[in-house]
A = this chain, B = another copy of it.
Amino acid sequence: MVVAANLDVRITIYDVAEAAGVSTATASKALNGTGRVSSETRARIKQVASDLGFRPNALARSLTRKRSFTVGLLTDDTYGRFTLPVMAGISEGLIDHGVSVFLCAIENSPELAKTHVDAMLDKQIDGIIATGKRVDRSLPVDLGHLPIPVVYALTAGPADAVTLVPDDRQGTSEAVGHLVRQGRRRIVHVTGPGSFRVVEERAAAFVEALHAAGLPAQTSAIMRGSWSERWGHEAVEALWSGTDRPDGICCGNDQIARGVVDALRERGVDVPLDVSVVGFDNWEIVAEQTRPPLTTIDMNLKELGRQAGQTLVRLVNGEAVETGLWRLPCTLVVRGS
């Protein structure tokens, strides 16, 4: 049988105290495990609280504790391809600590960002996580002089803050390493626009990885374009119109890789028999639908989000945390290409 709960009458600590025949001070101490309360009294109060279904009002608690167990999540990425796994990781990593997350989609608008930040400050949030879609761009709002800690994830932050990003270099090494292990010797890098810092980082790592494998690395082996399938097609056309055709292609993202694989198939080049292709991002919707499914690099964004959340909690708790850029490892995901 279901007992009709008095949903619109919240049980307060006064009710608990009265029912247990103690003062609210004692009830509070008993319930929170602070202060000095005899174990019998403590047990009794806890029992009463549980019987009554008492749940403390977090607002009132935050008012005195000056901790709201709430943090803000700022993002300029409504498209969400990168941000969403990060957000999910943050949410997951924080709920265990009883921390809730305010979502703020700021749309690249400084005014909107300020509105959100002010609203959250008024709500006494404990900290902020800033996240975006580009590691080399910062959000259109200055979070540097806030009275609360800020952690940056997948967006540019100041040097004296913690900024979490995927380790693009290590990820690229993994990709090249895989191609080398497949016996590939003529490897090229088809990547995005040089205006993206990750492009140059990965390009440098690409050259380095080839060297490490004892392979020649011409800079001509690095082809920059857009982050699109179209560019994958164009790159293949350019490569196959010459005589020095590659047998391994390391791509800047999965969309380019998809274009490359499609273009190769259309030319009758077999993947992975004739040419091996590795993508980047492990964007499953693209990687799994490619024929054959893409071997690619996963940036472990969910884990990155989780760590961002936990780092923020540590900062809020006053723990010392090493500032600067944290590069989190990427993982090779082997599929069919």
Contacts and interface: CB of A to CB of B under 8 A. Distances in A.
A26 to B, nearest CB: 22
B102 A87 contact: no
A68 B78 contact: no
A164 to B, nearest CB: 18
A119 B266 CA distance: 54
Interface in A49-106: 55-60, 62-63, 68, 70, 73, 78-81, 83-85, 87-88, 91-92, 95, 98, 100-105
A42 interface: no
A286 B289 CA distance: 12
**Most B CB within 10 A of own CB, among A73, A88, A121:** A88
A305 to B, nearest CB: 10
A108 to B, nearest CB: 12
Number of copies: 2
Interface of A: 7-8, 55-60, 62-63, 68, 70, 73, 78-81, 83-85, 87-88, 91-92, 95, 98, 100-105, 107, 112, 115-116, 118-124, 145-147, 228-230, 255, 262, 266, 285, 289, 302
Q: Which 9 A-B pairs have the closest CB atoms?
A: A80-B84, A103-B103, A78-B88, A7-B147, A58-B122, A91-B105, A88-B105, A58-B123, A229-B289
